[in-house]
Amino acid sequence: MSLSARNRLSGTVQRVETSGLMAEVVVELDGGQTVTAIITSGSADRLGLEAGSEVDAVVKATEVMIDAH
Amino acid sequence: MSLSARNRLSGTVQRVETSGLMAEVVVELDGGQTVTAIITSGSADRLGLEAGSEVDAVVKATEVMIDAH
Amino acid sequence: MSLSARNRLSGTVQRVETSGLMAEVVVELDGGQTVTAIITSGSADRLGLEAGSEVDAVVKATEVMIDAH
Amino acid sequence: MSLSARNRLSGTVQRVETSGLMAEVVVELDGGQTVTAIITSGSADRLGLEAGSEVDAVVKATEVMIDAH
Amino acid sequence: MSLSARNRLSGTVQRVETSGLMAEVVVELDGGQTVTAIITSGSADRLGLEAGSEVDAVVKATEVMIDAH
Amino acid sequence: MSLSARNRLSGTVQRVETSGLMAEVVVELDGGQTVTAIITSGSADRLGLEAGSEVDAVVKATEVMIDAH
């Protein structure tokens, strides 16, 4: 993993919905929780994302908040 | 959950390291994967974060990327 | 407020426009200035946002820039 | 305003704290609410930010969340 | 340049595509590389962006990742 | 390139400065312009970044603003 982003959560794509320029990708993490990503339709097409694709959800650490409820 | 952010991953704080204005918080998700957050030291103090705290890691969907490896 | 995000600006929704996957929410802050948010349509629906809703606009401190004009 | 960022909130710097590479800038908005920005120390120096500086807090719309409490 | 954002890359708009609330703007940098921005349609209209417009692509330093391949 | 992030600008590291949890990495793009990234010190160490390293600066399209000056 040569990318500086600290967070890389492995999972499986459950659903990809594309509308205009944007795509919503829902990933079920290996541990059972779910992550939703909004990416460009162009990237979703280029990566060939579809239900069942094995992917990582990648997030820069500065983008993560903590809720201590 | 009244916040628009789509991603809320539950877990337990493993480690909090504070240095100057920033704090690095490592959260072990319930499914076993790990998330690192960079927040302000002010927020880490206000929330009383420490190893063992039960928290959610919260991420806006537009901040998530997909790696199709 | 259990969320680490440092910025929470109270106001009233003026307008919600939804198109495809995304929604644009315009909030008039209590002090009279205006904030525009782009969130997912899914979140706008889930939160039941409409003109007149009392809300907070929430922003992580690392996402704020300063213009010294 | 030639920048695409939708949010530009005018106010006055209350406090600037610099530590290492990062600086925390607290801005009191004209309407009385407060915004905190984390920027680089390099930018804080270049802009000559100090208590009393009149500034805008600038935020891209995709970075704003809504809390419907 | 009165804005704290550290990155300002000059170039020429190659293409603007608008769909619903969002617009995709492709900028050819002066050095020949290409940057794609997703902004709101509202901002694209307000700025009058079209192929040939001379612009800067602006990015806050905390949003940049490094890939060491 | 299996990552959804649309922007990948190739260049050479000019300077890495680490202070506490954060690191500032200055990259000279192949076309001569400069990009500054704030990443964690942990990532800078893991990637072995130093002056002369050939890298890509990676940015998600939703993080890019346009200034039409």
- State pLDDT tens for residues C22-56: 999 999 999 899 999 999 999 999 999 999 999 99
Residue F36 has pLDDT above 90, yes or no: yes
pLDDT at F14: 98
d(CA F8, CA E63): 13
Class of domain E7-57: mainly beta
d(CA B35, CA C6): 20
- State pLDDT tens for residues D21-58: 999 999 999 989 999 999 999 999 999 999 999 999 99
Which percentage of chain C shows pLDDT scores above 70? 100
CA distances from D21 to A60, A61, B24, D39, F40 (A): 18, 17, 15, 9, 11
Cβ–Cβ < 8 Å for F31, E30: yes
- Contacts (Cβ under 8 Å, ≥6 apart) of E46: none
To the nearest whole Å, the CA of D37 is away from the closest chain B CA by 10
pLDDT at A1: 77
CB contacts < 8 A, C to D, total 124
Which chains does D contact via 3+ CB–CB distances below 8 A? B, C, E, F
Interface of D with C (CB under 8 A): 5-10, 24-25, 27, 29-33, 35-39, 43-44, 47-49, 53-69
Residue type, E35: V
pLDDT at B1: 77
Considering CB atoms only, which of B2, B37, B62 is closest to C47?
B2
The radius of gyration of chain C's CA atoms, rounded to the nearest angstrom, is 13
Which percentage of chain E shows pLDDT scores above 90? 96
Residue C1 has pLDDT above 90, yes or no: no
The answer to whether the CB atoms of C40 and B4 lie below 8 A apart is yes
pLDDT at D52: 98
Interface of B with C (CB under 8 A): 2-6, 37-40, 42-44, 47, 58, 61-62
Considering CB atoms only, which of F22, F24, F65 is closest to D3?
F65
CB contacts < 8 A, A to C, total 34
- Nearest one of C42, C52, C40 to C14, comparing CA atoms: C52
The answer to whether the CB atoms of B6 and C40 lie below 8 A apart is yes
**Mean model confidence pLDDT for chain B:** 97
Across residues F18-27, what is the average pLDDT? Answer: 98
Q: Which residue has the tokens 């002090």?
A: C31
pLDDT at E20: 98
Across residues F8-13, what is the average pLDDT? Answer: 98
pLDDT at E7: 98
CATH of F7-60 given 3.40.50.720, 3.10.20.10, 3.80.30.20, 2.40.50.100? 2.40.50.100
Residues linked to residue C18 through DSSP beta bridges, in sequence order: C23
Q: What three-state secondary structure class fits D43?
A: helix
Residue E1 has pLDDT above 90, yes or no: no
Q: Which chain E residue shows the shortest CA-CA distance from D62?
A: E39
d(CA A42, CA C54): 36
The answer to whether the CB atoms of C36 and D63 lie below 8 A apart is no
Of residues A15 and B69, more confidently modeled: A15
d(CA C45, CA D43): 39
Side-chain-facing half-sphere of E7: CA atoms under 13 Å: 31
- State pLDDT tens for residues B24-52: 999 999 989 999 999 999 999 999 999 99
- Tell me the chain A residues in contact with residue E59 when contact means C-beta distances shorter than 8 Å: none
To the nearest whole Å, the CA of A13 is away from the closest chain B CA by 10
d(CA C24, CA C20): 11
Q: Which chain A residue shows the shortest CA-CA distance from B61?
A: A37
- Nearest one of E2, E48, E45, E49 to E21, comparing CA atoms: E45
d(CA F66, CA F69): 9
d(CA D19, CA C68): 20
Considering CB atoms only, which of B6, B47, B62 is closest to C4?
B47
Helical ranges in chain D per DSSP H: 41-47
Interface of E with C (CB under 8 A): 2-5, 19-22, 40, 42, 60, 62
Cα–Cα–Cα angle for A59, C7, C21, rounded to 5 degrees: 50
Q: Which residue has the tokens 């307008």?
A: C15
- State pLDDT tens for residues A7-26: 999 999 999 999 999 999 99
Considering CB atoms only, which of B22, B62, B67 is closest to F22?
B22
Task: Decide if domain C7-59 falls under CATH 2.40.50.100.
Answer: yes
Q: How confident is the model at residue E19 (pLDDT cuts 50, 70, 90)?
A: very high
- Tell me the chain B residues in contact with residue C37 when contact means C-beta distances shorter than 8 Å: 4
d(CA C58, CA B1): 14
Q: What share of chain A is helix, strand, coil (3-state, %, to 5)?
A: 15, 55, 30
